[in-house]
Amino acid sequence: MNTVRLPFLWERLQPNLNQAFDTTEFARLDLFVTEATAKGVTVVIDPHNYARYRGNLIGSSQVPVSAFANFWSRLATAYKGNDRVIFALMNEPNTMRTEDWLTAANAGAKAVRDAGANNLILVPGNAWTGAHSWTQNYYGTPNSQVMVNFVDPKNNFAFEFHQYFDADFSGTKAECATAEGDTKLAEATAWLKANNFRGFLGEFGGGNNSTCQATIGRVLQYMENNKQWIGWTWWAAGPWWGNYFMSIEKPANGDAPQMSWLSPFLK
């Protein structure tokens, strides 16, 4: 494994909008980032907030887009000297206008670049950024129509997709509904190719069963075969997860079963 995605809460890092980061919380974040990147690991820092701050949408009167830009200006300033840090703008925006998310994403990217950071930016779409729904319109204007208008002044970005393979794509059930998970990436891949974009699969996973093993193998091979995909991070690992069915945290003896699925595709 050469990349770790590190989720955190915006409110915990920045308790008051447009104000300095909490000293203790930033120290916790920075300790991980500094030690991991010093060992050659790339860290994806991920405000895990669903395009909200204390429950209020970015772009609302309570959380103006300028506050989101301020947050990213501060974070980019902290890590612009570390090219092993990737900036994931936001985890899983949802239940909002896709156009409003685009406005926020563009403001975040501009703030990063205005801070002097050249780091790779990961850009999600609306509707939990599902690959399977990228061209659908049940959530409003499809991501495929809106997100082509994302602007990065440095042109160093990739779109971040998430994809689970249970019946409702939520990732809450151990059983996968299909052994052909690669088909769920097909429309997003075609969109990436058509627009000369890159993609990153920021969340995917499955329980320890034969159907999930088959589908994960196909997904990983599909990304190997389609070079628009620059990388992926499995959900999830770390001691906090306990017996969570998708955790690949190393147990006392041996490895989590899913590691044998992933190992042929590790760098």
Options 180, 203, 224, 249, the catalytic residue: 203
Q: Check residue 56 and give its pLDDT.
A: 98
Q: Spell out the domain ranges in the chain.
A: 3-265
Q: Tell me the fold of 3-265.
A: TIM Barrel (3.20.20)
Options 11, 92, 160, 224, the catalytic residue: 92
Owner of token pair 């899913």: 258
One digit per residue, the tens of pLDDT, for the chain of length 267 reads: 899 999 999 999 999 999 999 999 999 999 999 999 999 999 999 999 999 999 999 999 999 999 999 999 999 999 999 999 999 999 999 999 999 999 999 999 999 999 999 999 999 999 999 999 999 999 999 999 999 999 999 999 999 999 999 999 999 999 999 999 999 999 999 999 999 999 999 999 999 999 999 999 999 999 999 999 999 999 999 999 999 999 999 988 899 999 999 999 997
Q: Is the pTM of this model over 0.75?
A: yes
Q: Check residue 215 and give its pLDDT.
A: 98
Q: Say if residues 162 and 202 touch (Cβ distance below 8 Å).
A: yes
> What is the distance between the terminal CA atoms of the chain, rounded to a whole angstrom?
7
- 3-class SS of residue 149: helix
Active site residue 187: no
Active site residue 160: no
Q: Check residue 267 and give its pLDDT.
A: 76
Could you say which DSSP state residue 22 is in? P
Q: Check residue 73 and give its pLDDT.
A: 98
